[in-house]
Amino acid sequence: MDTPISGSVYVAPSLSTALDALHEGGSAAAPFAGGTWIMRAPIRHEQLKSRYVAIGKIPELHTIKVDADAVEIGAAVTHAALATALAELGEFDVLTAAAGHSANPAIRTMATIGGNLATTAFAAADCVPALLCLDAEVEIASRDDRERTSLEQFLTMRSTLAPGRLLHRIIVPRRDRKTVHARLPLRRAGDYPTAIVSLAMILDDAGLVETARIAVGSVEPVARRWGRLETALIGHPLNAAKAAEAAAELADEFAGRDAADVPGWYRVRVLPGLVRRAVAALGS
Amino acid sequence: MGLSMTINGDHLTSTADPVTPLVDVLREDFHLTGAKPVCREGFCGACMVLIDGNPTPSCLIPAALAQGCDIRTVEGLAANGRLNPIQAALEACDAVQCGMCFPGMVVSLTHLLTTRPEATRDDIRAALTGNICRCTGYERIIEAALLALATP
Amino acid sequence: MSDASATMNFRRRDAADKLRGRTRYTIDRYLPGMLHAAVLRASVPSGRITRLDTSRAARMPGVRAIVTAADAPGMIGIGIADHPLFARDVIRYDGEPIAAIAADTLMQARAALAAIDVEIEPLPVVLTMADALAVDAPLVHPAWRNYEVLLAGGARGGNVAWEATVVRGDVDVAFARPDVEIIESCFRVGRQNHVAFEPRAVVASYEDGRFHIETSTQVPWTIRNATARLLGVPASQVRVTVPPVGGGFGLKFDLAIEPFAALLARASGRPVRLVNSREEEMLTCLFRENADIRIRSAVTRRGEIVGREAVVLMDCGAYGGEQIFLTTMTAHTLGGNYRLGAVRLVSRAIYTNTAPNGAFRACNGVYNTFALERHTDEIAARIGMDPLVFRRRNVLGDSDFGATGQVFEGDVLGPMLDRMDTMRDAAAIPPKRTDGRLYGRATAVGTWFVFVGPSAATVNMNADGTATLVTSGVEIGSGSMMQALPQIVAGTLGLAPDDVIVRAADTDAAGYDVGVGGGRTTVSLGAASLSAAQEVRTKLLKVASEMIEAAPGDLVMRAGRIEIAGAPGSGRTISEVATRAQAQFGPVSGTGAFTGSGVPAMPGCVAGHFIDAIDIPVFAVHDCEVAVDTETGHVEVLSYRVVQDVGRALNPRAIHGQIQGGVVQGLGYALHEEVTIGSNGRVRQNGFETYRVPLALDILPVEINLYEGAPSIGPLGTKGAGEVPILNVGAAIACAVANATGKRVQELPLTPPRVLALLLDREPALSLPHIADSWIDNLVRPHGTAE
């Protein structure tokens, strides 16, 4: 039902005022970023919170800082802004593609990177596996402190994050790597992907895989790294067919989530193909 | 205390609840029924409006965040009632059927025309990923966008 | 008659306002003092209401009226009156209405719904047709015998809501012939949601002792009559008017939420607005029904179909609704396309504890065409004949018998297949494929027909030289009311179509009409309008002949003038003549009426049918090429071609628009749009995230060829053109995917998971054990026997 429930929205002008408001609101309050998830609460038959702290107008949460050894992304950076900002940096192809192809064009100008990472119930978030394979870290702010943690760690604790805390920044280390994002929607575009394979590879001088980061999204409720496949690829040249073969052998470690539109087996079954496509896109 | 915003050049105030979707404020407070609340999820695009120049599904914007914004709805795109280039092209191509999606189509394509004059057929199709039409099969809409782009 | 002038690519007059956001659909109507309504719906699929107390809700803020089953004594239905407005005592589907509330605001109305005290004791559930047909299955309508029968002749029994049969010739003998192969195929299709962008919406008021219902519908007269029946008031107390409709596709071919608003308006004395939420639309759609089909043919090795039998199970959901009527159509859709020796078909509407289904563009035809064409390919493969050669050998031609024994006129499908060959041959040769995908092509044939039925029209000639056309037709987006009808009137009277004013539907102003759907608008409303315009023409020519001093037979009407034939500029303007006529005799008007001619069937062939034969057959030939991704199951459509029988194309450009749109809607049905029902009886796709309609990136431009000249009783030789484009799409795609993959395609939609499962042989071939092996064992009672 499309019932708007009454509530209040505080449009925070700065991070500190946002954190104060979240602190004071306690469990009745929640941050409001792009709104593309929260405003759809009625279709999920969820109650809206009584108090929202809108963080979309806080300048420092909108910045993308590109340094020599890391990129820092404010939590309220939109998908569209992120895709544009990183377009020229090849090592971030995976993130540019994730941010630049999610949902649809208008949603990409609203949905934020912070919202994408913090929404526990959204299994098909594109940026989560993309950032996992980039070894991203996140910074969580509260009125009294800042805590930095790996994205992997954050994903395990995000649903139980204490009130008053806000994911405010994502830090992505810079490396000389090749990256790619392979996503599979049911239509050509415009849906959430049924499965995602995000890849980041560092090759040695001989062209062999030195480090591999492979993350799988949308298949299970929470995106995760595919450690066994990473191990299988290390020390070998990039080869799409061989990578797909290895993926096929290892894919049964995933328990695909069943949904109204996609059966769990399908999400797992397409993984080798996505791995093949991803590796092939890296140029081999 | 009301929420004030500029809509099609008019300064307007709403007393709507702050989390009310903008589309309901437009329709019920301001009687601008062009934007259609079809899916209320940001998938269909029928409620698209320009907020500070950007196409935005007005179902996903709470009224509180429209405060102070410059909003243009489909009603504000035909200056003095004259169809703008994409509206004229859609009419010339006999693209309209039931018409419910067109307010959003017009908003998205008006933006495309002004920001991406070099857009190709595939760019247009991609730009319409968030605008569903159930009647036309899209082809006439794409044709009209190409016609409008080609018309000086 | 100057009918040539009726052909044109006339632009629709409603486009500019629609493009400016000015058009006021029903959802955009807000009346002063209007209340907002909401409906309490059941959240179980089957149960007994043990307590219903609205007293607490009545005290909630803003509440002005509450209505329940006690306020709506009547029952409605097609063929059989099985459907009350509100659940009475028993809940039969998840989402069934229990009560409705009107309040000052929508939020108040919805809050009050939660304050209705209702207790429901669960009852046994049948969710599938297999469940419903099981021995000792719980009955969805235990009292089915007591319902009022509105049309005699349909066999019924238990969970079989209606049964229609066709028997022509001796099928047993045909199947026993030594020279035939027996080919049997099973198919299953899911439901399809129309996703009309304007949901069902109504604003009702109660004025001077009558109901005024403004509603988003295709059938104003059905709304009038069915509302009256449910409310127990004379039909003349209900007036229905229809603003522009934001999409119909058959969804709005039946009564929906109108009576709730009407009852609340009477109870409150205020106008009441009721609009379905998108979720209500998704869950209680009146979907295109799911169906299970078994078809079996006896075919000689030389390709003659000597016998055919089929069982079609159509899920009508909790109430019979349109499916009762649609059982009739199997004879012409599954029994269409091809010459058959002996034939027997049974089409059964089955009750289940699921949301009722309804009509959807080319109802029943899309899945029967899918089944028939896939079966046809399986036949061709079995006897080793090229599928196109087999089709060409067997398509219906001049003087051939249809399934019910009607005689077809003219060779239409054969030349249409030729034309498709020409189109296909003219296409560029596709480049070599090296991407690892599987490629396939198919050509599929389809038979549809125009629902003719009664229509009325009045043309008022205005003294200023314009004409006003008054009908109960509705503009649902197809353009019939904006283009075809004014073109027909304008062509008859020598006016510009812009000078024909088209009155929006109002049951107080125009006569009875079956409704806008089934491809009948241009035909039935068009014929009534033509006849009304001809009466005006005759009257005007008589007056003009005195003014011009020439015999009426020597006069023509063109370009706003009545002049002597061959002497342009002679005579008078139509306005002058109309003004004179008005002064002398009073205003000039004409009325017209039309209905089907009633083509005969062979006596004894049909039982339980609402019509025996088809007045206006419509044929279509589709051809497509697909590529199938073996890793993901994605199907890409590479080309799509349509040859469509249109009789005569009054507005070719508008028809092209209908074909492109209909094909894309069919691509949704074939490839993307899936409805499933959970174990709780609720449709699982509740919004646009999970129900996927084609987007701009998923479609392609359809190559179109309009086939003109086939016989038609339609005005100026027209046939309906908007309904049929969706007919063959599921068939063409399914056959092409089967050809590409070498797999037996038995189900639609071909979503990527379903195609991948097929490629991987993940599931056993579909069998339908709830369809009895022997055809006759599927019948409630033998064909042609009385109750």
Q: What's the one-letter identity of residue C187?
A: F
Residues A275 and A183 in one domain: yes
- Contact (Cβ atoms closer than 8 angstroms) between residue C63 and residue C139: no
- Same domain for A127 and A225: no
pLDDT in tens, A136-187: 999 999 999 999 999 999 999 999 999 999 999 999 999 999 999 999 999 9
H-run or E-run covering C63: strand C63-68
Q: Is the pLDDT of residue C451 over 90?
A: no
Structure tokens at C415: 């030349």
Categorize the per-residue pLDDT at C277 as very low, low, confident or very high, splitting at 50, 70 and 90.
very high
| pLDDT score of C433 | 82
Among B19, B126, B130, beta carbon nearest to A107: B130
The residue type found at A192 is: Y
- Residue A284: the pLDDT is 54
HSE (side-chain half, CA atoms, 13 Å) at C475:
28
Q: Is residue A1 part of a domain?
A: no
At residue C535, does pLDDT exceed 90? yes
User: B68 vs chain C: nearest CA distance in angstroms?
Assistant: 24
Angle, CA C499 vertex, CA C497 and CA C500 arms, to 5°: 70
The count of structural domains within chain A is 3
Confidence of residue C82 (pLDDT cuts 50, 70, 90): very high
Nearest chain A alpha carbon to C109:
A3
**CB–CB contact C197 B126 (8 Å):** no
Cis peptide before C415 (omega within 30 of 0): no
Here the CATH number for the domain that contains residue A48 is 3.30.43.10
DSSP string of C519-555, one letter each residue: T-IIIIIHHHHHHHHHHHHHHHHHHHHHHHTS-GGGE
Q: Are A81 and A96 in contact (CB under 8 A)?
A: no
Exposure letters C456-481 (e unless 16+ CB within 10 A, then b) = bbbbbbbbebbbebbbbbbbbbbbbb
Minimum CA–CA partner of C687 in chain B = B39
Parallel, antiparallel, or unpaired for β B70-72 and B48-51? antiparallel
Q: Dump pLDDT digits (tens) for A176-231.
A: 999 999 999 999 999 999 999 999 999 999 999 999 999 999 999 999 999 999 99
Domain residue limits at A42: 8-54
pLDDT digits (tens, 9 = 90+) for C693-730: 999 999 999 999 999 999 999 999 999 999 999 999 99
Q: Give the chain B residue whose CA is nearest to the CA of C686.
A: B39
pLDDT, mean of residues C98-126: 98
Per-residue model confidence (pLDDT) at position C432: 75
CA B39, distance to chain mean position in Å, is 15
A240 in a structural domain: yes
Flag the least confident range among A1-15, C242-256, C281-295, C317-331.
Answer: A1-15
Integer Cα distance of A37 and A121 in angstroms: 10
User: Degrees (nearest 5) of the Cα angle C618, C606, C778?
Assistant: 110
**Burial letters C371-405, b for 16+ CB under 10 A, else e:** bbbbbbbbbbeebebebbebbbebbbeeebbbbbb
Per-residue pLDDT for C5 more than 80?
no
Q: How far apart are CA C678 and CA A156, in angstroms?
A: 31
> Which residue among B32, B44, B102 places its CB closest to the CB of C19?
B102
Separation between Cα atoms, residue B28 and residue C27, nearest integer Å: 11
The span from the CA of B144 to the CA of A235, in Å, is 54
A192 touches chain C (CB under 8 A): yes
d(CA B77, CA B32) in angstroms, rounded, equals: 13
Torsion from C-alpha of C27, C29, C30, C32, nearest 10 degrees: -150
Task: Look up tokens 């649609």; give the residue.
Answer: C326
State whether A161 and A88 are in the same domain.
yes
Kindly report the average pLDDT of chain C as a whole number. Answer: 96
The answer to whether C703 and C639 are in contact (CB under 8 A) is yes
Q: Is the dihedral of CA C706, C712, C714, C719 positive or negative?
A: negative
Would the pLDDT of A91 be above 60?
yes
Report whether A239 contacts A250 (CB < 8 A). no
- Integer Cα distance of A72 and A57 in angstroms: 18
d(CA C391, CA C397): 12
Per residue in A117-128, pLDDT tens?
999 999 999 999
Chain C residues inside the 8 Å CB shell of B128: 695-697
| Average pLDDT of every residue of chain A | 95
- Reading the block at residue B148, the tokens are 């409008």
The confidence score (pLDDT) of residue C723 equals 95
Model confidence at C2, pLDDT cuts 50, 70, 90, reads very low
pLDDT tens-digit map of C298-330: 999 999 999 999 999 999 999 999 999 999 999
Do residues C572 and C547 make contact, with C-beta atoms less than 8 angstroms apart?
Answer: yes
A205: domain CATH number? 3.30.390.50
B136 and C196 within 8 Å at the Cβ level: the answer is: no
Helices (H), C164-206: 171-176
The CB density around residue C130, as the number of other CB atoms within 10 Å, is 17
Report the pLDDT value the prediction gives residue B23, as an integer from 0 to 100. Answer: 98
- Checking C175-178 for CB contacts under 8 A at 24+ apart, the result is C175/C296, C175/C298, C175/C307, C175/C309, C177/C298, C177/C300, C177/C306, C177/C307
A133 within 8 A of A213, measured Cβ to Cβ: yes
Above 50 in pLDDT, residue C281? yes
What gap in Å lies between CA C247 and CA B102, rounded to an integer? 12
Q: Please identify among residues 666-725 of chain C the ones whose CB lies closer than 8 Å to any CB of chain A.
A: 672, 674, 676, 684-687, 689-690, 692, 694-695, 697-698
Q: C112 falls in which pLDDT band (50, 70, 90)? A: very high
B130 part of contact set with chain A, CB < 8 Å: yes
Per-residue pLDDT, averaged over C105-123, amounts to 97
DSSP C724-785: GGGTTHHHHHHHHHHHHH-----EE---HHHHHHHHTT-SPPP--TTS-SSGGGG-SS-TT-
Amino acid letter, residue A143: R
Interface contact flag, C753 A184, Cβ < 8 Å: no
Secondary structure string (H, E, C) spanning chain B: CCEEEEECCEEEEECCCCCCEHHHHHHHHCCCCCCCCCCCCCCCCCCEEEECCEEEECCCCEHHHHCCCEEECHHHCCHHHCCCHHHHHHHHCCCCCCCCCHHHHHHHHHHHHHHCCCCCHHHHHHHCCCCCCCCCCCHHHHHHHHHHHHCC
pLDDT at position C11 is 85
Low pLDDT (below 70) residues in chain B = 1
Rounded Cα distance between C454 and C463, Å, is: 30
- CB contacts of B37 in chain A (<8 Å) are 2
Q: Look at residue C1 and tell me whether its pLDDT is greater than 50.
A: no
Listed in order, the ranges of chain C carrying CATH 3.30.365.10 are 14-22+453-594, 291-451+601-760
Do A167 and A241 lie in one domain? The reply is no
Rounded to whole angstroms, the Cα distance separating C279 from C687 reads 6
CATH superfamily of the C31-123+197-247+252-284 domain: Aldehyde oxidase/xanthine dehydrogenase, a/b hammerhead (3.90.1170.50)
Structure-token pair, residue A261 = 């539109």
Question: How many other C-beta atoms lie within 10 A of the C-beta of residue C446?
Answer: 32
The neighbouring-strand residues paired with B7 are B10, B71
Of C278, C690, C760, Cβ closest to residue A260: C690
Residue A22 in any domain: the answer is yes
Could you give the angle at the alpha carbon of C734 between the alpha carbons of C359 and C702, nearest 5°? 75
Q: Is residue A129 part of a domain?
A: yes
CATH number of residue A85's parent domain: 3.30.465.10
The C-alpha angle C363, C367, C371, rounded to 5 degrees, equals 150
Choice between A116 and C432, residue whose per-residue pLDDT is larger: A116
Same domain, A183 and A169: no
- Residues of chain A positioned with their CB less than 8 A from the CB of B56: 106, 109-110
Residues A113, A117, A121, A124: is their CA dihedral positive or negative?
Answer: positive
Best B49, B60, B132 member to test A by mutation, with max A CBs in 10 Å, is: B60
How confident is the model at residue C596, as a pLDDT?
Answer: 85
Q: Map residue A107 onto helix, strand or coil.
A: helix
Segments of chain C assigned to CATH 3.90.1170.50: 31-123+197-247+252-284
- Chain B residues within an 8 Å CB radius of A4: 17, 19-21, 24
Pairing of strands A51-54, A29-32: parallel
Residue A2: inside a domain: no
Q: Which CATH architecture has domain C14-22+453-594?
A: 2-Layer Sandwich (3.30)
pLDDT band of residue A6 (cuts 50, 70, 90) is low
The structure tokens 């090429």 sit at C625
Query: What domains can be seen in chain B, in order of their start residue?
Result: 3-76 (3.10.20.30), 85-150 (1.10.150.120)
Fold of C291-451+601-760: Aldehyde Oxidoreductase; domain 4 (3.30.365)
C125-168 pLDDT, tens digit per residue, is 999 999 999 999 999 999 999 999 999 989 999 999 999 999 99
CA distance A44 to A51: 19
Q: What pLDDT score does A43 carry?
A: 94
The pLDDT value recorded for residue A2 is 42
Alpha carbon C537 to its chain centroid, in Å, reads: 34
Query: Is A163 domain-assigned?
Result: yes
Same domain, A164 and A64: yes
Claim to verify: residue A14 and residue A78 sit in the same structural domain: no
The pLDDT, as a whole number, for residue C383 is 98
Are A44 and A78 in the same domain?
no
Using alpha carbons, list the distances in angstroms from residue C414 to B70, C245, C418. Answer: 61, 38, 6
**Do C518 and C454 touch, CB atoms closer than 8 A?**
no
Please, which residues 21-80 of chain B have a Cβ atom closer than 8 Å to chain C? 27-28, 31-36, 38-41, 43-44, 46, 73-75, 77-78
CA atoms within 13 A on the CB side of C710: 29
- Is residue C8 pLDDT above 90, yes or no? no
Residue among A187, A265, A272 minimizing CB distance to C695: A187
Q: CA–CA distance from C177 to each of C305, C385, C403 (Å)?
A: 12, 20, 20
Chains that touch A (3 or more CB pairs under 8 A): B, C
Closest residue by Cα to residue A133 from A264, A270, A242, A282:
A282
| pLDDT given for residue A4 in this prediction | 43
